[in-house]
Structure 1
Amino acid sequence: MFAEVNPYEREAYLISPDLSFLDKIKINGICLEFYTHIDFPHFLKVYLAFKSRIIIFIAERGKRITGGVAIDDIRIIECQVANETAATPSKNEEKNSKTLLECSFDTDLCFYEQSSTDEFKWFVGEHTLTPETGPQTALSGSFIYVEASKGDEGNEAYLKSPIVIINQTVCIVFFYHMYGMDVGNLIANLIINDEMNGEENISNFRHVLVNSKHNLGDIWNEFRFNFPKKYMNKKVQLEFIAIRGSGIEGDIAIDEITLLDGKFIYAEASMGSWNDKTFLQSVKVKFTKDYCLSFYYQMYGKDMGSLDIYLLIYNSNGTVITNKIDVLKKVDSLGLLWRLKTFNIPEKVWQKPVQLIFKAIKGFGVESDVAIDEIQLTNGKCLKNYNPIALQCSFEQGSCQYEIVSDSSFTWYVSGAFSKTFETGPNTKFSGNYLYTESSKGNEASKTYLKSPRITFETTTCVSFYYNMNGREMGRLNVSFVTFSKNGNEILEENKILEESSNLGDVWNKMNYQIPQKSLYRPSQIIFQATRGNGFKSDIAIDEIKVTDGKCIDIEGATYLECSFDFSFCNYIEQNNSSFSWLIGTYTLSSQTGPQYNLIGPFAYVEASKGKTNDRAALSSKIVKFIKTTCVSFNFHMYGKDMGRLIVIIRLFKSTEKKEYEKVSDAIILNETRNLGNIWNFVNYEINGDYLLKPVQLIFEAYKGHGFRSDIAIDEIHLSERSCN
């Protein structure tokens, strides 16, 4: 018997004939037996109506309009039944369901148990064994994973939680990772042991949460599932099944299983037609002072429509003022993550009746649900969560948006000179000014803090900075990444980026930090804490705090290619054959040529009012090596009617027996001669294949045109460890 999906009906019923004749049969026990086939995400419910002596099968449609539910070979057979005494809860059932289901896998499996083939099984660790597969960075601490270098294709590894009873509304959250060209399949189920009226178990089925067979790349994917009310007070169990793929590059990992309290409100897209609208309206209220409106929203599904949130303002007679105030406008799928929106109630609406409107518009299909949660009003203006770009600072104009907090005269200073104290502090600048602590002030163990503004990350992001710890009486530098609760009042987690107390010599050291996936869309802050050592030879310095999209890069020395040209050429060397040369500034000298505006601060440029036609000026990087596929990007500007030429080259070298570098070939990234107007142009170039693990150099060659209106500029050279695609 097959229940086919009907988009206009939610349920289909199959009711047995009267079974009261079974009361007259004298046997030890009677069992119901049947076979099922259920297409995700549909459901099958089975009920035994004791008074009317009938069995009811209910096929319930999920969010898709394909597939269905099938049953076959329904039989009533004689079987043994348990004594009708009250069941004693197991030790696991007596424990809190939150305690039993939650696990960070930092040391062990918590209360989870596994079953698998001999070799293909779950392991706890901070990394997997095979390159190009498995998590390259953990969410926090360790995670649990299957190692695809073991076992055979199709092997299965099971991980199951204890059986628990959940009696309140919760959201089940976990992260999973599937990276590698041979990745197999990950299935996550909620197993429901359905007991009716305290009688025997007549139904045991799996609600599929995740069924993924794709290489999702080296990212952690978040899954959230609101525990259905219909499963409350029933015995349930979490189950994870990893199925090995066709090769060794198929590691699968999971981490951070948590239970969150609360419900949300959503627009169900399996009902209605395309472009249908639904509204959620607040009561009318009046504001008399500053308030911060905040809420979370989720828009996930390939058929996604739109979400429009705004304030309506009313006159005293109750009529709507024409111009509404937009709070949020979003279209298209934004993924599984919940996103935070904060909004300051504007002063111009004070003392007027206002109403908050949430308008969801259905997309093209059933996969366009829109949800909102945790609508809150708090006194005062919204806690300002800056864009992550606010973290960037080169300390050329002070400490940017960072706050300095000190407990003594030992504090942070901006300097562009070398250290005032012998045998401590930087004796070579990294680029322009830097920030440092002066240890000739303060006492041993004095502390000073540098705190970033609170920011909100929305995508995979890498934060990097340079630090210098030179001095035989060195103290300590601690750098932390702090994640706050939604309202910003509570610290949820503090991760250590750096803990260093050694004398590292007079060198600038680079530190990269990958922002954890679970910290996205939450207020965050970076804190630098410097502690004075046991003497004045313990100066600490930092410089060039930067934020880049994507994963942190892992290459040998190639970071020397990065430069924003903020008052220096960084690690580039200038070569020219005349007065036509590279300069740094925020504008060029001649009119109708060169950048009329900058990207971010100063840039590098050639001044065409000097030199002769075809004069060459070159900027050459250090020779470096790339370990992994990397995308090199930069911006360039070519404006002026006498324009010359800009050539950008990646030069490949080989090492000779004398340990010198010999040129092998040049790859042309850019060869441009046109007047492109007063705009900045973006270029990226992928380093891969023959250029990996070999000496390479990046070269910018500018050639003067036939007049002074041929200024050329470059800026913002960056690297990202990914394909440029």
Structure 2
Amino acid sequence: MSEKTKLTIFIFITTILSIVFGQRIYWKCTFENDDCSFQSNVPDQFQVYKFERGNLKTPERAENCMYARKTNSHLEEAYLFSSKLNIPRNIGKLCFKFNILMSNGQDELFVFFLKDYQIVKQRAFSMKYSHEIFKWIEKTDYLSQSVDEIMIKSSRKNSATSIIAIDNMEFNDCYADSSSTPPSSTNIDSILQCNFDSSTTCQYELLRSSQNRIDNYAWTVSNPQHSFYGLPEQDVSKNGYYLHSGPFVCWEGDRVYLKSSSIIVTNPRCKLSFYYHMSGENVGTLTVYTNNKENLQQVLVEKRGPQGESWLTEDISLPIGEYELIFEGKCTILSLSHIAVDEITTHNCQSPSLSTPRPTPNRNSPTLLECRFEQDFCNYYQSTQTHQWVIGRETPSSNTGPQVPYSGNFVYFEATTATRGYFSLLESPVVYFDKETCLSFMYNMHGSHIGRFLVSLITLDQNENRIIGNETILNEIGNKGTDWIRFSHTINDYPQIRPRKLNFYAFYGRGYKGDVSFDEVTISYGSCPGSARSTRETSSVTVRPGPSPKLLECQFEQDFCNYYQNSTNYQWLIGRETPSRDTGPQAPYSGNFVYFEATTATRGYFSLLESPIVYFDKETCLSFMYNMYGSHTGRFLVSLITFDQTDSRIIRNETILNEIGNKGMEWIRFSYTIRNSPQIAHIKLNFMGLYGRGYRGDISFDGIQINDGSCLV
């Protein structure tokens, strides 16, 4: 029997069953006999990390599935791409049901839903907050429109037992599917509010990462009598308790969680407020985010590093939906510093009364959409797991992104750290347009690898819970040149005033020269200038003079950033420690670092790491950390190479650091001021490590930073 005949019989049987039982199945795949026309991102003959069909023989089942298993490959991600799915295009409601199995709490599985080659929805799943490790779990996801392709991505972490599997996938019409029925409302105030003064965490649950290296690192409730090591001397009320991370030292990467039970937010005015205290040089990171039933997280606020010696307050708009709220404390370096939280309160979170008319649109004015992105995202929030929008005055890569800012900081999609299938989504709050309104913003799509920039106006039902319309107002692909472009669009909802929100998408193209940027969202009443409903207008700018010095910055966590090796006999390495005893850093400065491994070197060996050529147009401070510990240590030499204005001829070679021999176990900070000159200086940076006289000669450096102005003495 041919595959086509089998498919015809299957569709016939599922149609008959849908008539009998009330649910229509549009597409189904069990992987029992074949791979359902899915394609992997690597050929079958390659023995690397990839999806393959097989039987995991778990206690719950002994059937074939599609899984990705840990291998010795350097690859960290595996992909599956479906063929075109035969699902009716005019469907307004669709359910995707499937089973997943994951063996590691840090691994993730992503499902992308596509229509006409565009991602219309994306979901991420993990077992980070679940005890269902290595168990098959059934999931159902609700879609408000039809799709014609799906893409599945597994992302593994460093685990010898990593297995991510998927099976029994099905698209149906959601009929009689209890998982698609929204749950009832919950008392948000009683769940989220807590002042810790009863010496408890109220209704929050305390959790810690299973990967923590310090066993007793956890959230702890204390009062002033228990204060130590830089903790606040008193709580916010000055006579009660507060929550803090501790109680003692933590290790880099250790995490603790304060997790609420599930809440359902239906009021768009719902806000969360809390106080936080973060003092000390190595205090770490505080992140507040939501986690929904599919384990898709949305970051609401993140605070990194020291924030001063006093209590500070933060107000957050809670997004509509069902989820848990999580306060995460993360240790960034071996530290005695602590994060403290107090007085968690909520405002306007009760569901709007169904017996009274909706408030007038003035409550959520379109002016909430306005933003210049100078300090933050204003009222917008990130809503994607794969990639985040970033705020800055320039993008770090050369030959892509705006050559000058339009007006101060702007928002950009950084393509260097993205890969195939990655996208960023920035969502606005819900607003109401009660009169004719002109929406406008500036955007830039410069680079030979540019993907897609898409802006859509979402229309919700009157309860603001369900999408009933999705209008794409801008859909641009590819390189649009160095200029900023103004886009304007007239919105006229009157007299039918409807809840609306604005979404900004950027999709990865085909390489690092794919930065997409936008800025200065403005609202004005009346129609936009010009006869057309949507208009574009180019705004010419002066081209920035060449690659930015920011390209020199690197923390060496994953790779050498923009630097490259230029030595025929020896290479710099990246790691958290060097393998030899009595040499090299005794503790990392901040995560991974670069080092010269003397054990396998011999007389005359050296390593050379070179930067790209960058252009300095102002006085700039270059700084980095280095370590030269070991009785056999050779020489560490750092030089600034200056080129002519064509970048073809060296006109100066300046040694800014030349150290020989053992300098002790401590990390040493080096700073150097690059002076301003009449002409823009074309400079590259070289780091050279030279072998000394034995295996105790490891040389390390880390944390290259660039700052405007002269270095502090």
Per the shorter chain, which TM-score range?
0.3 to 0.5
TM-score where L is the length of structure 1: 0.32
TM-score where L is the length of structure 2: 0.32
Structure having the higher Rg: 1
